[in-house]
């Protein structure tokens, strides 16, 4: 009888709170559809990990399924890197190749990463912890996981939850920041689509190879991140391995997303997660997204001081990585301001640039902080 009751009798208030947090994540995934593919498995695994004497975490020193998956897929960085193969296969870099100037916004909108990193350092986090918190602003789950796993594995749970939650909240976070920093007239600026020049299929094939090579040589610590992203894109653009490309976009993406989500729960135990610092991390995550958006918008306004053909500053906000959500948000905002203002191509090309920018930022942080 004691054995049957040992789970209930050993339950701590902290574990009870973690059940509630797991339930909240599941509710957000199902009712609000906030990144359901990740928050749903993360929510359930958070519950499983906090059951006293849970076999999911491990019994008598033997690892359980969650810890085994975590060690195999996240500690080794295999899962996030495989997710990059899938993302690369899904992304069409065409709009960016047709208007490469948009890459600059992919750099400017990473400002939130570095602002938040400094803020975290000012709030007494160590440099490596601060870098891991700042990278939430990459708005890119796999990059956040890789950096946090390398620098602050004990903060991986809250950082992952913050990264994926706020990515799904981009439609709520970005519009007020953009409205605050722009005038109505600026939001109604129409952009010339003639800047988009058609590119050859050969260019689209060479691009992922060249980017892997250049980024790998300049920032070797980003070689795995960018290399996997570009490998997925090469599968897509080569035109000769459609089966692999479709497999990467569907089966690989689905399986690895499932395993990644369920593995995160292994580090969401009450003693690791319930900390004043978790609240700080969640708060700083929002700040990172806000300053990313502000960085992109203000950079566009700065460029407009010198440009003859003005840029709609809302486009700068798409330099955040959250792809394609951010692009869609700006497209809709443009239409709301002026029903004839179609910014989709500009928004998507900038958003694709943001995907590249976030990976480069992750690689730079890995190189400079270590």
Which of 20-28, 41-49, 192-200, 250-258 is the region at the interface with other proteins (rule: CB under 8 A)? 192-200
Q: Which of 234, 295, 296, 236 is nearest to 102 (CA)?
A: 296
Interacting positions 128-167 with other proteins (CB under 8 A): 130-131
Residue 200 contacts other proteins per CB under 8 A: yes
Selected binder of other proteins within 97, 191, 264, 298 (CB under 8 A): 97
Between 155 and 333, whose beta carbon lies closer to other proteins?
Answer: 155
Which of 7-15, 96-104, 168-176, 249-257 is the region at the interface with other proteins (rule: CB under 8 A)? 96-104
Interacting positions 102-121 with other proteins (CB under 8 A): 103-104, 106-108, 110-111, 114-115, 117-118, 120-121
Q: What is the 3-state secondary structure (H, E, C) of the chain?
A: CHHHHHHHHHCCHHHHHHHHHHHHHHHHHHHCCCCHHHHHHHHHHHHHHCCCCCCCCEECCEECHHHHHHHHHHCCCHHHHHHHHHHHHHCCCHHHHHCHHHHHHHHHCCHHHHHHHHHHHHCCCCHHHHHHHHHHHHCCHHHHHHHHHHHCHHHHHHHHHHHHHHHHCHHHHHHHHHHHHCCHHHHCCCCCHHHCCCCCHHHHHHHHHHHHHHHHHHCHHHHHHHHHHHHHHHHHHHCCCHHHHHHHHHHHHHHHHHHHHHHHHHHCCHHHHCCHHHHHHHHHHHHHHHHHHHHHHHHHHHHHCCCCCCCCHHHHHHHCCCCCHHHHHHHHHHHHHCCCCCCHHHHHHHHHHHHHHHHHHHHHHHHHHC
- Nearest approach, Cβ of residue 360 and other proteins (Å): 5
Between 56 and 117, whose beta carbon lies closer to other proteins?
Answer: 117
Selected binder of other proteins within 6, 10, 126, 250 (CB under 8 A): 126
Number of residues that bind other proteins (CB under 8 A): 50
Between 70 and 125, whose beta carbon lies closer to other proteins?
Answer: 125
Between 164 and 299, whose beta carbon lies closer to other proteins?
Answer: 299
Residue 122 contacts other proteins per CB under 8 A: yes
Selected binder of other proteins within 20, 206, 240, 336 (CB under 8 A): 206
Interacting positions 216-255 with other proteins (CB under 8 A): 218-219
Residue 202 contacts other proteins per CB under 8 A: yes
Residue 307 contacts other proteins per CB under 8 A: no
Residue 370 contacts other proteins per CB under 8 A: no
Residue 348 contacts other proteins per CB under 8 A: no
- Nearest approach, Cβ of residue 344 and other proteins (Å): 16
Q: Which of 162, 178, 164 is nearest to 287 (CA)?
A: 162
* Contact residues for other proteins, defined by CB under 8 A: 94, 96-97, 100-101, 103-104, 106-108, 110-111, 114-115, 117-118, 120-122, 124-127, 130-131, 197-204, 206-207, 210-211, 214-215, 218-219, 353, 356-357, 360-361, 364-365, 368-369
């Amino acid at each position: 009888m004691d054995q049957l009751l040992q789970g209930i009798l050993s339950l701590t208030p902290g574990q009870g709170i973690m059940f509630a947090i797991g339930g909240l994540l599941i509710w957000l995934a199902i009712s609000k559809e906030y990144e359901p593919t990740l928050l749903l498995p993360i929510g359930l695994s958070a519950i499983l990990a906090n059951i006293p004497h849970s076999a999911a975490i491990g019994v008598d020193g033997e690892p359980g399924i969650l810890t085994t998956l975590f060690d195999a897929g996240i500690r080794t960085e295999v899962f996030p890197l495989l997710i990059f193969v899938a993302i690369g296969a899904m992304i069409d870099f065409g709009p960016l190749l047709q208007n490469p100037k948009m890459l600059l916004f992919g750099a400017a909108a990473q400002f939130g990463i570095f602002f938040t990193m400094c803020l975290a350092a000012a709030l007494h986090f160590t440099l490596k912890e601060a870098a891991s918190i700042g990278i939430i602003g990459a708005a890119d789950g796999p990059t956040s996981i890789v950096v946090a796993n390398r620098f602050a594995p004990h903060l991986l749970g809250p950082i992952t939850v913050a990264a994926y939650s706020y990515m799904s909240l981009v439609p709520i976070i970005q519009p007020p920041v953009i409205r605050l920093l722009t005038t109505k007239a600026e939001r109604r600026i129409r952009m010339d689509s003639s800047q988009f020049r058609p590119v050859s299929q050969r260019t689209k094939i060479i691009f992922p190879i060249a980017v892997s090579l250049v980024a790998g040589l300049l920032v070797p610590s980003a070689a795995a991140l960018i290399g996997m992203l570009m490998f997925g894109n090469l599968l897509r653009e080569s035109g000769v391995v459609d089966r692999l490309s479709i497999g990467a976009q569907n089966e690989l993406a689905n399986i690895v997303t499932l395993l990644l989500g369920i593995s995160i729960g292994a580090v969401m135990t009450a003693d690791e997660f319930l900390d004043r610092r978790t609240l700080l991390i969640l708060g700083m995550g929002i700040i990172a997204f806000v300053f990313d958006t502000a960085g992109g918008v203000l950079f566009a306004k700065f460029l407009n001081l010198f440009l003859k053909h003005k840029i709609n500053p809302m486009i700068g906000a798409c330099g955040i990585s959250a792809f394609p959500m951010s692009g869609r948000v700006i497209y809709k905002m443009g239409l709301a301001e002026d029903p004839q203002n179609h910014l989709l191509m500009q928004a998507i090309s900038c958003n694709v640039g943001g995907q590249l920018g976030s990976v480069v930022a992750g690689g730079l942080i890995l190189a400079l902080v270590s």
